[in-house]
Structure 1
Amino acid sequence: MKDVLKKYLPERAVQPTIQLIQKHRVQLQIVGQRKTRHGDYRKLPTGQVKITVNASLNQYKFLMTLIHEFAHLFAYEKYGNSIKPHGIEWKQSFQLLMLPFLTPEIFPNKLLPLLAKHFRNPTASSDTDAVLSVALKEFDPPNLKNYIFEIPMGKRFRIENGRVFTKGKKRIKRYECTCEHTGQIYVFQPHAEVEPL
């Protein structure tokens, strides 16, 4: 297990992660990229807990996703199944579990202040925290995509499902973009990744 996790986690995070997995008898499965989620928590009919994490994540997002899923386990064990999936009980569990990992030995110094701010009130996905999302993206392998905020107004771009849009004006935080095929206007987060045309 150690050799496998070394490929996906910061080196100093490997041993504490193994201890969590073994202590709670979690079945960890590293899976191919899913478009709708970075990870998943499930309690199997046998009673065992299964956590899946996307293999495509960089080491810092992989760690955060794995601990995010462990926070579901902790919250449900402590408070029962009637809690909201990303409610206060989950947030407190996530904060508690992430705290030992928020060190310069595990995360780069440039990420630590952003992580500290994010974990004051963690969200269901780090992708909704635009500043943190952009900072974490710097550790991804290079690709041909840009963020919406980098695309000039009036220029075309393609999203993952193949649809083509033209970037329009900025609302308070999001950008209005017109779908070329339907003429409908959609709003995009500034840090949504798209392929410029």
Structure 2
Amino acid sequence: MSIETLKKYLPENTLPFLKNWFGPYFIHIKITRERNSKLGDYRKLRDNSHEITINSTLEPQLFFFVLTHELAHMLSFEKFGHRIAPHGSEWKQTFRNMLVESISIYHQDLQKIILEFAKSPKANFMASPDLVRYFRLKDNAGGHVFVEELEPHNEFIYNKQRYILIEKLKKNYLCRNLDNGKTYSFRGLASVQKLNP
């Protein structure tokens, strides 16, 4: 896929950054269906080209953020060699520099969150509560909320099963499955469909 073809997935004015980062490398970019386990990934192919996959359902700013994350893998491996840790200090420095360089691409209310994240980039998007909250706000329109926004005794649906919030633990939330009676611990940033007001 060419950089030009990527335009429909990206915010405006990203192409100069991508052309600079792509440089002389041959990169296969595959747009995939939504995957719950990951937003994107990177791997080097046997012919020394590179492959990046990204979920097609990501909104443009998140798509660009994930693409930047994956390109940081490629650039750090190319610069420092393939013996470095995938999310080690070399990748963090590369990703940090790319985020700061392209900060103007992001909406103003997101720039502060990105710059804070860039101080110590995390390997997993879900490890940054501020980013998760920012990019999941649109879910609220369909009745989706974070578990941390629920009150005790609120009922909700998660993975097509009904639950009730019992109480907040130290970091997580204790909930009972109303279909099988078992209790489960939920992360505060789990996205669920609220059932009762």
Q: TM-score, normalised by structure 2?
A: 0.86
Matches of 1:61 and 1:82, distance apart in 2: 29
Q: How many residues align?
A: 194
Structure 2 matches for 1:37-56, cutoff 5 A?
Answer: 37-56=38-57
Which segments of 5 or more consecutive residues in structure 1 lack a partner in the other structure? none
Matches of 1:92 and 1:189, distance apart in 2: 29
- For the pair 1:28 / 2:37, whether they are aligned, the reply is no
Match for 1:193 among 164, 180, 191?
191
Letter of the structure 1 residue corresponding to residue 33 of structure 2: G
- Greater share of residues in helix: 2
Letter of the structure 1 residue corresponding to residue 35 of structure 2: R
Instruction: Mark the CA change 1:144 to 1:22 in structure 2 (over 3 Å): closer, same or farther.
Output: farther
Aligned equivalent of 2:74:
73
Aligned equivalent of 2:100:
99
Aligned equivalent of 1:14:
15
Superposed CA offset, 1:156-180 (max 9, x none): 22223x3332212222332222333
Letter of the structure 1 residue corresponding to residue 28 of structure 2: Q
CA contact (8 A) 1:130 1:190 kept: no
Deviation at 1:62, TM superposition (A): 0.5
SS across alignment from 1:11: coil
Superposed CA offset, 1:66-123 (max 9, x none): 01111111222233333322222221111122221112xx111111111111110011
CA contact (8 A) 1:148 1:191 kept: yes
Structure 2 matches for 1:129-168, cutoff 5 A?
Answer: 129-138=128-137, 142-160=141-159, 162-168=160-166
Percent of aligned positions with the same letter in both sequences?
28
CA contact (8 A) 2:144 2:192 kept: yes
- For the pair 1:119 / 2:110, whether they are aligned, the reply is no
Letter of the structure 1 residue corresponding to residue 187 of structure 2: Q
CA contact (8 A) 1:58 1:140 kept: no
Matches of 1:141 and 1:71, distance apart in 2: 31
SS across alignment from 2:109: coil
Deviation at 1:22, TM superposition (A): 5.1
Matches of 1:92 and 1:184, distance apart in 2: 44
Deviation at 1:150, TM superposition (A): 2.2
Matches of 2:33 and 2:74, distance apart in 1: 22
| CA RMSD across the alignment | 2.2
Matches of 1:84 and 1:181, distance apart in 2: 43
Instruction: Mark the CA change 1:184 to 1:139 in structure 2 (over 3 Å): closer, same or farther.
Output: closer
Which segments of 5 or more consecutive residues in structure 2 lack a partner in the other structure? none
Instruction: Mark the CA change 1:56 to 1:141 in structure 2 (over 3 Å): closer, same or farther.
Output: farther
Instruction: Mark the CA change 1:17 to 1:138 in structure 2 (over 3 Å): closer, same or farther.
Output: farther
